[in-house]
Each structure stands twice: as structure tokens, then as C-alpha cells.
Homo-oligomer: A and B are copies of this chain.
Amino acid sequence: MQSHWTRQNLLGIEELSREEIDTIHLQASEFKEALKQPHAKLDVLQGNLIVNFFLEPSTRTRVAFETAASRLSADTVLLEGGRSSTVKGETLRDTAQVLESMNADMMVIRHSCPGSAHYLAQVLDIPVLNAGDGAHEHPTQALLDTFTIREHFGQNLTGLKVTILGDILFSRVARSNIWALKKLGATVTLAGPATLVPDRFQSLGVHVTHDLKTALVDADAIMLLRIQHERQSSTHFPSLGEYRGLFGLNGARARYLKPKAIIMHPGPVNRGVEIDSTLADSAQSVILEQVTNGVAVRMACLYLCARGRQQQL
């Protein structure tokens, strides 16, 4: 089974095969099981130095990668920068090659520019993991989301219906999840205001609806996306109040959902905007499960890319 992984980079979901996603999820299951032992620390990446290179603000993804590295006994170095800034006018390539030249073993990169992780994978010899590149991909988020869905609905997602609701237009989380869900056989519906969910997204092989009830009634899983406050002034975006009024998930609307449907959110959650507070804490919500799975999934990604690197040497 694990022979389905030979890559040293994790750049996006688009290029992964179904078997590769399976391999990551199987490995993540093993790590999740191992973490149930108190204070588990696996020595599989002992002596590895992982650079966390975050040029866009991040909290949970950064901490999750640091935690995953720590649980695998790797050492980490953190390099943070402002939004899309480079360091003292140095090019991104130069900064990355400098970090690589310090004998770093792997690099996790978040950058506001789509394609930045792919670019670094071309210019570096060491494994590169994409922790979010602009509006392009956020592969580990989609991997943990689909891992969570499989825990609830089984490995075979054929025919499972997943709705992604919210600010889809510039969402790397949506993009990566669309790829992952379709590869795993699920049916995907995108929902939200027409300005944020243009009909042309149908060309990705998904349904598009601007009617919330339609979006909810059939869904086995509903993925809410974070509403970016900073986009409020955009011409694409209605006011927060208008969004909440039309598309916010509240108790009344949640009654449209199937009883076994799960509610997901990549965080950080704006309680009272995209989701009402009681729903975020309800039995249907799997938001914190997603977080827990995020550590196991990132451990799997780090481990498999390190192994892929070894095989290519």
C-alpha cells in the first residue's frame, strides 16, 4: 500500500492520485493511533531539521506543523515574515536556498503568491510542503478534511455529497478540497452568493447553487469557509450582516440538514457570521476533530516526503 508514495514534495492535491491520498490517510491513521499513547514521541525524523517558512500570517497551520515535527522528533526553525514580503529585498529563491544550504532537511512554505511552493520545489533539492500558496492550494487542509470525512462515512466516498459554503472565489481551501473530494468519488456542491461562487466553477465538475436550502438538504458534510473580514470592502462581498442573513448557518437552517450530516470549518471560526455559536459546538460539528486530525495528517505528509526523498537519493 505504502508503495503508492514516491514523491518528495507535497505541493497540491491536483497532482495527487487517489492511491496517493489513500497512502497519506493510511499513514495518518497509524500516527493518530500512536498519538493516543500519552506523551507519544516517535523517533522517525530524529535529527531532521525542518524549516517552517511562513511569509503569510498563520497560527494554527504553523503550530500544527511544529507540533507534527515535534511528535516525530524533528527539530524546527521558524522564519516568519509579513504578508508576501521577502526578507530585506532578497528574492524568495535566494532566501529558500540559503535555508536549504544550512543543511535543512525539509521546508514547509506558506506564501501569498500562487505557485510559490511549486517554484521552490523546482529550485530546491530538499522536500517542499505547501502550507498554503495564495488562492491556489492548501493541500494539508484538504487532506485533513477528507480524512475526517472518511472517519465518519468510511473509506469509500462514492456518492457522498459534500457542500462547500461561503467565500469560494479566492479560497485555497475550497480549491484543494474540490480536487480531493472528487478524486475520492464524492459529489461536490459549491454554495454562496453569486459574487463569491460564480457559475463558471461548474467547469471544475461541481454543482453550483446560490440557494442555501438546496445546498443543505442533500449534504452529508457541509464545509463552511471563513468569511474574511478584510474582504468586506471588496465589490464582490456583501456586508457581514447581509451574508449572515442570507447564508449564515443557524439553528433554523440546520434543520434542513440530514441528522447524520457533519458540519466542518477550517477555522478560525467567526461565530455569529458564517455559523451560529451553538451550532459550532453542537454534536454535528467536527471542527475540533479536524484540528486533531490535522496533526496526524501533517505527520504523515512530513514522514512520507522524507521517505520519498530518501528513495530518490
What residues of chain A have their CB less than 8 Å away from a CB belonging to chain B?
35, 38-41, 45-49, 51, 57, 59-60, 63-64, 66-67, 70-71, 75, 77, 79, 87-91, 94-95, 97-99, 101-105, 229, 267-271, 288-289, 291-292, 294-295
Contacts and interface: CB of A to CB of B under 8 A. Distances in A.
9 interchain residue pairs of minimum CB distance: A39-B47, A90-B268, A101-B291, A41-B47, A101-B288, A70-B75, A88-B268, A101-B292, A67-B102
Nearest to A63: B77
Nearest to A293: B101
Given A49-B70, A103-B71, A103-B295, A94 B267 contact: yes
Contact of A47 (B40, B66, B95): B40
A94 B291 CA distance: 11
A257 to B, nearest CB: 22
Contacts of A63: 51, 77, 79, 99, 102
B88 A59 contact: yes
Contacts of A295: 102-103
A270 B86 CA distance: 12
B46 A41 contact: yes
